[in-house]
Amino acid sequence: MSKKDNFIKDINNGYLSKGDSITLGGAILDGEAIAESHVKIPLKTLNRHGLIAGATGTGKTKTIQVFSEQLSNAGIPVLMMDIKGDFSGIAKEGKEEGFITERHAKINIPYNVSAFPVELMSLSKQSGIRLRATVSEFGPVLFSRILDLNDTQAGVIAIIFKYCDDNKMPLLDLKDIKKVINYITEEGKAEIEESYGKISTSTTGTILRKIIELEQQGGDLFFGELSFEIDDLMRIDENGKGYINIIRLTDIQDKPKLFSTFMLSLLAEIYQQMPEKGDAPQPELVIFIDEAHLIFNEASKVLLEQIETIVKLIRSKGIGIYFITQNPMDVPSGVLAQLGLKIQHALRAFTANDRQAIKKTADNYPTSEYYKTDELLTNLGIGEALVTALNEKGIPTPLVATMMRAPQSRMDILTSEEIEEINGKSKLVKKYSEEVDRESAYEILNKKIEEATQVQQQKEEQTQAKSSKTEPSTTEVVTKSVLKVVTSATFIRGVFGVLSKFLKK
């Protein structure tokens, strides 16, 4: 058999799947697309996560577009973190042009244009579905991250959350948590000290200042009700296509902490809410995280461990997460090791560092008798990528250079009129733009604080009546209770310390 025949046999065997699959493109050998060999990914393994990497302009965004289209066609909804705002065109039909016809002739896949059902979402004032979360849902770990707090300050935040949990006080927006902070340094000072230890007013002062900073950066826009219900991400349209939910982040591009933390809270929420799926034939939702390095940048060791945990566990809930980044080394090795599908576009070798990264990347791929991986990594054309996936048995498929198919939808962004049209038709835009009476949430909290004060007063009267007992020293109280609070809060809230929704009701 010739080399080509062997290649066709190996690839076709390697990418065989009994169940349904999506086709990404055609296999390439010695620079030529091979019409007989297609690169297919089984739907069953799409919850095993993945990575899409490559230098700028090599075709990552178009690959995600193609990938999302195929998922939608298979009835799988998609969530896309669109940081650069170049993804909206998927809502409209594409246009067949010469270079597309040519590409599809080479890979021997019929081409037709198609539009896909899209929902546009926003974390800010931009038009679209308003994504919001309550402070309670955010949990102490992520709330501390978004405020950039040190360990001592984060410890105080943990106490505040614990205190609010214990007293069934929902923290909806920033106004709520400011109120609680004021309370625990004034009227509630004695009560807090008794149960949770001494809290320094200079620490609460710093936290308050940072909350005000966050408000000024627009954080007040996404903390509050109506908080987003994750079921709304799992929609299928009347033709059986999965919805493509695009979170447009262009207007907060300069606030990476804001949206990367929001993303983590959303992941935690999804994890918390979704039931176990077991061995499902296809995922419930596939999430693409563009500019993934922003999520890992400056993440503390604890947070990284929690991200690793969530990536590991969310799989069994039928959720696939795909990280997109220029350099695969941006993704921590603990996460990288859990990614089943790798789509590696070309890398550029400008510096010694680049060459080292290429060498390392090549070493991370299965060896292949058909390719010199490190050389190929710099020689791949635009819209071509090295692919390895998991087969239905969970075994890595052979490495294959792939000419990706072209998007069926528009390879350009929507006009503002088109965006308005989509938002105008969306039921979800109406649902989430409805004004929830924030004032009343604040009042509920105020009332609860008042009640808590009354209870506390009664308690104090009772305690006074009893004989006094020996008190431990202040430092002892602080360390003990902070430890207790942090561990129990972590335990109660699970991953990222997100609180289940019961407090909202």
Ligand X SMILES: Nc1ncnc2c1ncn2[C@@H]1O[C@H](COP(=O)(O)OP(=O)(O)OP(=O)(O)O)[C@@H](O)[C@H]1O
Residues that bind ligand X (CB under 6 A): 54, 56-62, 66, 103, 382-383, 404, 406, 411
Q: Residue 294 binds what, of ligand X, Mg ion, none (CB under 5 to 8 Å, by partner type)?
A: none
Which residue lies nearer to Mg ion by CB, 61 or 122? 61
Which of the stretches 55-63, 166-174, 193-201, 394-402 binds Mg ion when contact is defined by CB under 5 A?
55-63
Which residue lies nearer to ligand X by CB, 45 or 409? 409
Which residue lies nearest Mg ion, judged by its C-beta? 61
Which residue lies nearer to ligand X by CB, 415 or 479? 415
Residue with token string 């609010």 = 164
Tell me, rounded to whole angstroms, the distance of Cα 478 from its chain centroid.
35
At closest approach, how far in Å is the CB of 59 from ligand X?
Answer: 3
At closest approach, how far in Å is the CB of 77 from ligand X?
Answer: 22
Which residue lies nearer to Mg ion by CB, 60 or 104? 60
SS3 call for 118:
strand
Which residue lies nearer to ligand X by CB, 269 or 330? 330
Which residue lies nearer to Mg ion by CB, 315 or 345? 345
Interaction of residue 136 with Mg ion, rule CB under 5 A: no
At closest approach, how far in Å is the CB of 52 from ligand X?
Answer: 9
Residue with token string 């604890």 = 302
Q: Residue 117 binds what, of Mg ion, ligand X, none (CB under 5 to 8 Å, by partner type)?
A: none
Q: Residue 382 binds what, of Mg ion, ligand X, none (CB under 5 to 8 Å, by partner type)?
A: ligand X
Q: What is the DSSP string of 184-195?
A: HHTTTHHHHHHH
Which of the stretches 57-65, 307-315, 357-365, 490-498 binds Mg ion when contact is defined by CB under 5 A?
57-65
Cα angle at 104 between 98 and 110, to 5 degrees? 115
SS3 call for 386:
strand
Q: Considering Cα of 137, then 141, then 144, then 146, what sign does the dihedral take?
A: negative
Distances (CA, A) of 10 to 21, 156, 239, 390: 18, 59, 36, 15
At closest approach, how far in Å is the CB of 64 from Mg ion?
Answer: 8
Which of the stretches 25-33, 61-69, 112-120, 155-163 binds Mg ion when contact is defined by CB under 5 A?
61-69
Q: What is the DSSP string of 335-346?
A: HHTT--EEEE--
DSSP 32: E
Which residue lies nearer to ligand X by CB, 38 or 62? 62
Q: What is the DSSP string of 224-274?
A: SSSPPPGGGGS-B-TTSPBPEEEEE-GGGTT-HHHHHHHHHHHHHHHHHHS
At closest approach, how far in Å is the CB of 274 from ligand X?
Answer: 29
At closest approach, how far in Å is the CB of 405 from ligand X?
Answer: 6
At closest approach, how far in Å is the CB of 62 from Mg ion?
Answer: 8
Q: What is the DSSP string of 316-329?
A: GGTEEEEEEESSGG
Cα–Cα distance for residue pair 153/210, rounded to 1 Å? 11
Which residue lies nearer to ligand X by CB, 81 or 147? 81
138-153 in b/e form (b: 16+ CB < 10 A) is bbbbbbbbbbebeeeb
Provide the token pair at 379. 């020689």
Which residue lies nearer to ligand X by CB, 100 or 274? 100
Which residue lies nearer to ligand X by CB, 103 or 241? 103
At closest approach, how far in Å is the CB of 258 from Mg ion?
Answer: 21
Q: Residue 59 binds what, of ligand X, Mg ion, none (CB under 5 to 8 Å, by partner type)?
A: ligand X
Q: Which helix (H) or strand (E) holds 25?
A: strand 21-29
Q: Residue 44 binds what, of Mg ion, ligand X, none (CB under 5 to 8 Å, by partner type)?
A: none
Interaction of residue 423 with Mg ion, rule CB under 5 A: no
Q: Residue 56 binds what, of ligand X, Mg ion, none (CB under 5 to 8 Å, by partner type)?
A: ligand X
* Whether 194 contacts 103, CB under 8 Å: no
Q: Residue 115 binds what, of Mg ion, ligand X, none (CB under 5 to 8 Å, by partner type)?
A: none
Which of the stretches 60-68, 298-306, 395-403, 459-467 binds Mg ion when contact is defined by CB under 5 A?
60-68
Which residue lies nearer to Mg ion by CB, 413 or 452? 413
Q: Which amino acid is at 354?
A: D
Question: CB-based contacts of 65: which residues, under 8 Å, 6+ apart?
Answer: 87, 89, 90, 407, 409, 411
Which residue lies nearer to ligand X by CB, 95 or 427? 95
At closest approach, how far in Å is the CB of 62 from ligand X?
Answer: 3
At closest approach, how far in Å is the CB of 290 from ligand X?
Answer: 8
At closest approach, how far in Å is the CB of 105 from ligand X?
Answer: 13
Q: Which helix (H) or strand (E) holds 68?
A: helix 60-73
Q: Residue 242 binds what, of ligand X, Mg ion, none (CB under 5 to 8 Å, by partner type)?
A: none
Q: Residue 57 binds what, of ligand X, Mg ion, none (CB under 5 to 8 Å, by partner type)?
A: ligand X
Size of the site for Mg ion (CB under 5 A): 2
DSSP 115: -
90-106 in b/e form (b: 16+ CB < 10 A) is bbbebeeeeebeebbeb
Question: CB-based contacts of 75: which residues, under 8 Å, 6+ apart?
Answer: 236, 240, 241, 242, 282
Interaction of residue 61 with Mg ion, rule CB under 5 A: yes
Question: CB-based contacts of 502: which residues, under 8 Å, 6+ apart?
Answer: none
At closest approach, how far in Å is the CB of 114 from ligand X?
Answer: 15
Q: Enumerate binding residues for Mg ion (CB under 5 A).
A: 60-61
